[in-house]
Amino acid sequence: MTAKIFIDGESGTTGLGIRARLEAYPKIELLSLPADQRKDPAAKQAAMEQADIVVLCLPDEAAREAAVIAAALGDRSPRILDASTAHRVAEGWTYGFPELAPGQAEAIASAKRVANPGCYATGAIALLRPLVDKGLLPAEHPVSIHAVSGYSGGGKAMILSYERGEAPSFEAYALGLEHKHVPEIERYARLARRPIFAPSVGNFAQGMLVCVPLLLDELPLKPRGADLEAALAAHYAASPFVRVVPAEPSGKMEPESLNGTNDLELRVFANEVRRHAIMVAKLDNLGKGASGAAMQNLELMLQAA
């Protein structure tokens, strides 16, 4: 049976990535609107009425409006996968991180509405949630997260600025401490207090590192770095996309080697003499951080169709 998929916002970075992946997928019919009708609510609703699954690759407010249009179809409403931030902590939406916890992949497969995770949030939650679940990191422990992304995650204006050579080589941003990924990190990592999140962007197109530093003796169980690594390895043992790998002896990491994949690598760098550790997640911000994760969720949703 052929599944019909409509990508609302197919001309954006994430939409293009999802479309490219779907074009190679068997038994998929991609529905599309002419460019001059892509913001027409009536045209959108007509496309949604034909679709089995609608993928929203839109700014947040437009994604909320599109979800309302779909809901108005009642029994004819399609299933929705939202790649925006709009519904990640909204009631009635399933969080689209299959590796989050046992049963999450099954919940995504059967869900009517799925919210794709944010790129930074994917790395941060992947590092934090297993430790909270194992009791190695208390939910109320103060957490700071530092990250760097390629400029492709910043939207059309940022991409153009870097491609023209007008942007700085490196830039810290969101220093008002209100980044839109923080609510989902707090909720799905099961943190009881809001983490401090310090993102930045570098002069490379795609790739991402997310770092969580820890003072090991400040944790109640006073774990070793090996304990953190073991907890991560146990949590992701059955995952085809998330791997726990040894920390590089050089103490250095680059962000781009997973580009073009849906892979996520986790490392624990620990200094047992100082009792310090830094956990690092590496991913492609356009892969596991965006269209790759969306495709993983779509495959789960299609299996249940």
Domains of the chain plus CATH, in order, are 3-117+290-303 (3.40.50.720), 119-288 (3.30.360.10)
Task: Note the pLDDT of residue 155.
Answer: 82
Helix ranges (DSSP H) in the chain:
13-23, 41-50, 60-71, 104-110, 119-134, 155-163, 182-188, 225-235, 292-303
Residue that is written with structure tokens 């085809």 in the block: 240
Quick one: what percent of the chain has pLDDT higher than 70?
99
Residue 39's pLDDT band, with cuts at 50, 70 and 90, is confident
**pLDDT for the residue numbered 305:** 62
Mean pLDDT within 87-105: 97
Reported confidence tier of residue 261, pLDDT bands at 50, 70, 90: very high
Tokens 């910043």: give the residue: 154
CB-based burial, 83-109: b 16+ in 10 Å, e otherwise: bbbbbbeeeebbbbbbbbbeebbebbb
DSSP string, 24-60: TSTTEEEE---GGGTT-HHHHHHHHHH-SEEEE-S-H
- Please report how the helices 13-23 and 155-163 are oriented relative to each other, as an axis angle in degrees rounded to 10: 90
Active site residues: 119
- β-pairing verdict for 94-95 and 113-115: parallel
Tens digits of residue pLDDT in 195-228: 999 999 999 999 999 999 999 999 999 999 999 9
Q: How confident is the model at residue 303 (pLDDT cuts 50, 70, 90)?
A: confident
pLDDT at 255: 97
Euclidean distance between CA atoms 186 and 214, whole angstroms: 17
113 strand-pairing partners: 80
The residue among 132, 150, 151 whose CA lies nearest residue 140 is 132
Q: What's the confidence (pLDDT) of residue 288?
A: 97
Beta-ladder partners of 124: none
Strand ranges of the sheet holding 208-215, from the earlier edge strand across to the other edge: 170-172, 196-202, 144-150, 208-215, 276-283, 264-271, 242-244
Q: What is the mean pLDDT of the chain?
A: 95
